[in-house]
A and B are shown apart, each in its own frame.
Chain A
Amino acid sequence: MVGKGKREQKIAIEAVIVAAITVAGLALQVITGGFNREILAFPANLILITAIPVLLILFKGALKHLASGSLSIILISTVTIIALYMGLVPGNSAKSSWPFALIYLALLINLTASVIIRIRTFKFRKDISFMLNHIGLLILLFSAGPGSADKARYFMRVFEGKVEWRAEKSGGKERAEAVELPVAISLEDFEMDEYPPKLAIIERNTGIALPEKRPIYFEAILNAVSTIERWNLVIDSVLYKPGFAPAAFVRVTDKYSGEATEGWVSCGNYFQHFKTLSLDSTYCVAMTFPEPKEYRSIVEVYTQSGKVKNGVVRVNHPMTIGGWKIYQHSYDSARGRDSVWSLFELVYDPWIIPAYIGMIMMIFGAITLFWKGGKS
């Protein structure tokens, strides 16, 4: 009974300390108006990351208390409560608040301490799952937290045939001023593949496609045929030249009367008006805008240090140069495939390699969870 009472006392003390840290965070929040992560920028983050394990090893007396499992539970609960606030209150800034930053720091200390204690009695079979999960998480949390102070994101708009090195900081609320980056992009060409536009028979006034319950849209490709309600449609010719809107020459026959109509149909674009083909006073054939299938920028990229790289940047396939990753972000959507510029997002994250190492360790850790199950 004495042991049990002692344990409860320890949990109570830990809970009070964590509550005190949270309250201190709230006070700092009120005084300073928010946690500015820039104070952790290099070399502050590196010092912090080194200091935590060094201090824990030096102050052995504190180590055991800081590695406490019940402390972990209290800290995870507190982080969960903060995350619930993030998830429920619209437009909050909890992720850059003092309470969150301090609890995050406490979690880093608790995690480091428990790894140090466990590492001293390391046995491969017994501890590998613990180590992969906890060290992986620790590296990831260091990179994603203090490390993120060195992260920077910019938008750069480059016109075809031009070189650009000025960019605007992204993520900020107001339009930021352009800054010069150590990376320059020369856009040789912006290209887009599209799905063929589609044809449908619509009610002229409402735009509702036929048949009303299950509208038929068929691709406007040469010799395509379709039957929509009482009309047979045949596409005799398709035109889609660069700079012009797509157009299809459609022949429509009324199944019952045999009456035939034909003409060009086009969805139009930024300078050409759309064109429909009237069937009667209510219905007409119309074309939808082609949807983008894939778009890409053919670029040459230079860094201040003299590196040059040629290649293609497309969605899901960023280009890496130095510590930078260059993403295809968007294009002039009014012009679609005829866009003469491409918008890139440039992300600088010197901590990405450790972050990946942490994630990969955790994936292996997750596999050990699956394989070993709950019998540890």
Chain B
Amino acid sequence: MMWDNFIWFSAASMLLWILGVASLYMNKKSSLTGNILISAGLVIFLIFILLLWGDLKHPPLRTMGETRLWYSFFITLVGFVTWLRWRYKWLAGYSVLVSGVFIMVNLLKPEIHFTNLMPALQSIWFVPHVTVYILSYAMFGAATIASFIAIRELKDKSERLMPLIDNLIYIGLGFLMTGMLLGAIWAKEAWGDYWTWDPKEVWAFITAAVYLLYIHARTQKYPLRIILWILPLAFVMLMITWLGVNYLPAAQGSIHVY
């Protein structure tokens, strides 16, 4: 059983990723060592997925455990690419951390036999749909923290954080829109329509709309003391979309409640 080897492959990848991120933080002059270590970890993890694929004779997408495998891989990969493009070390660290959580869950509670995915979830769109959402949450979470600091700094007429916040929002919205559109394409294949105003869709729409408001208000150069408050508000909407929808009375019968 290929799964029995998971602990060795994942331990090797995790070790390389942690060393890689540590190296990015310690070695201020060059990020080459860090980049090589993280890439090596990604290669090892991918090799495991491909070996498992060969072993199972079908893409590992049928159980919860197999799905988590892809999350671990893609979150680190996209976090790493974002680091290469935008030099956010914390995001590389964050994605390794989230990836590690999924790996730990897979080691402690594998669910490779017991929780079979319902057929509708056995789709190639499932993993990218969830992965990019997790990354958009990270960007928006960081932007929300930055917005609180920026609100405090407004008293001193400082706008030093605005380029950072704008950047995080644009990147986060890029991820969010990708996640939503991949979900729409998948929904057309699985449920017959790309948008049905399912409760989770309604809240995802609200979240995206509020971030769009931020972006448009910025291009219109509205006063920062108003604009900056949009971000905490948007983050509340994001949290409702992610965690709260299942508890809302309007959400009974949503296809997103599993």
A292: nearest chain-B partner, CB-CB: B119
Interface hits, A67-90 → B, CB 8 Å: 69-70, 72-73, 76-77, 79-80, 83-84, 86-90
Q: By the criterion CB–CB under 8 Å, are A362 and B181 in contact? A: yes
Interface hits, A47-63 → B, CB 8 Å: none
- A76-B177 Cα distance, complex, nearest whole Å: 16
- A325-B190 Cα distance, complex, nearest whole Å: 11
Please pick, from B122, B171, B178, B210, the residue contacting A373 in the complex, using a CB distance under 8 A. B171
Q: By the criterion CB–CB under 8 Å, are B177 and A365 in contact? A: yes
The listed residue with most A CB atoms (<10 A of its CB), out of B62, B170, B203, is B170
Please pick, from B174, B195, B206, the residue contacting A144 in the complex, using a CB distance under 8 A. B195
- A356-B187 Cα distance, complex, nearest whole Å: 12
Q: By the criterion CB–CB under 8 Å, are A88 and B250 in contact? A: yes
Q: Given the known A-B contacts A144-B194, A315-B190, A316-B119, are A72 and B216 also in contact in the complex, defined by CB atoms under 8 Å?
A: yes
Q: Given the known A-B contacts A316-B119, A355-B194, are A369 and B177 also in contact in the complex, defined by CB atoms under 8 Å?
A: yes
Please pick, from A69, A70, A80, the residue contacting B209 in the complex, using a CB distance under 8 A. A80
B25 at the interface (CB under 8 A from A): no
B235 at the interface (CB under 8 A from A): no
Q: By the criterion CB–CB under 8 Å, are A73 and B220 in contact? A: yes
Please pick, from B189, B206, B252, the residue contacting A83 in the complex, using a CB distance under 8 A. B206
Q: By the criterion CB–CB under 8 Å, are B212 and A76 in contact? A: yes
Q: By the criterion CB–CB under 8 Å, are A366 and B119 in contact? A: no
Interface size on B, residues (CB 8 A): 55
Interface hits, B76-107 → A, CB 8 Å: 82, 85-86
B249: A residues at CB distance < 8 A: 90
B174: A residues at CB distance < 8 A: 366-371
- A238-B60 Cα distance, complex, nearest whole Å: 27
Interface string of A104-120 (1 = CB under 8 A from B): 00000000000000000
- A325-B188 Cα distance, complex, nearest whole Å: 10
Interface of B is mostly: helix
A293 at the interface (CB under 8 A from B): yes
CB distance from A85 to the nearest CB of B (A): 10
CB distance from A130 to the nearest CB of B (A): 10
Q: By the criterion CB–CB under 8 Å, are B116 and A83 in contact? A: no
Q: Which of B16-24, B36-44, B161-169 contacts A (4 or more CB under 8 A)?
A: B161-169
How many residue pairs link A and B with beta carbons under 8 A? The number is 135
Q: By the criterion CB–CB under 8 Å, are B177 and A80 in contact? A: no
Q: Given the known A-B contacts A195-B116, A295-B119, A370-B174, are A359 and B185 also in contact in the complex, defined by CB atoms under 8 Å?
A: yes
CB distance from B235 to the nearest CB of A (A): 15
A251 at the interface (CB under 8 A from B): no
CB distance from B212 to the nearest CB of A (A): 6
- A325-B189 Cα distance, complex, nearest whole Å: 9
Q: By the criterion CB–CB under 8 Å, are B250 and A90 in contact? A: yes
Q: By the criterion CB–CB under 8 Å, are B170 and A87 in contact? A: no
B215: nearest chain-A partner, CB-CB: A374
B30 at the interface (CB under 8 A from A): no
Q: By the criterion CB–CB under 8 Å, are B217 and A73 in contact? A: yes
B216: A residues at CB distance < 8 A: 69, 72-73, 76
Interface of B with A (CB < 8 Å)?
62, 82, 85-86, 113-114, 116, 119-120, 122-123, 163, 165-171, 173-175, 177-178, 181-182, 184-185, 188-195, 197, 199, 202-203, 205-206, 209-210, 212-213, 216-217, 219-220, 240, 248-250, 252
Interface of A with B (CB < 8 Å)?
69-70, 72-73, 76-77, 79-80, 83-84, 86-92, 95, 144, 151, 153, 195, 217, 219, 291-295, 314-318, 325, 327, 345, 347, 349, 352, 355-356, 359, 362-363, 365-376
Besides the known contacts A83-B206, A91-B250, 7 further A-B residue pairs in the complex with CB atoms under 8 A apart: A80-B209, A86-B202, A325-B188, A327-B190, A363-B181, A363-B182, A374-B165
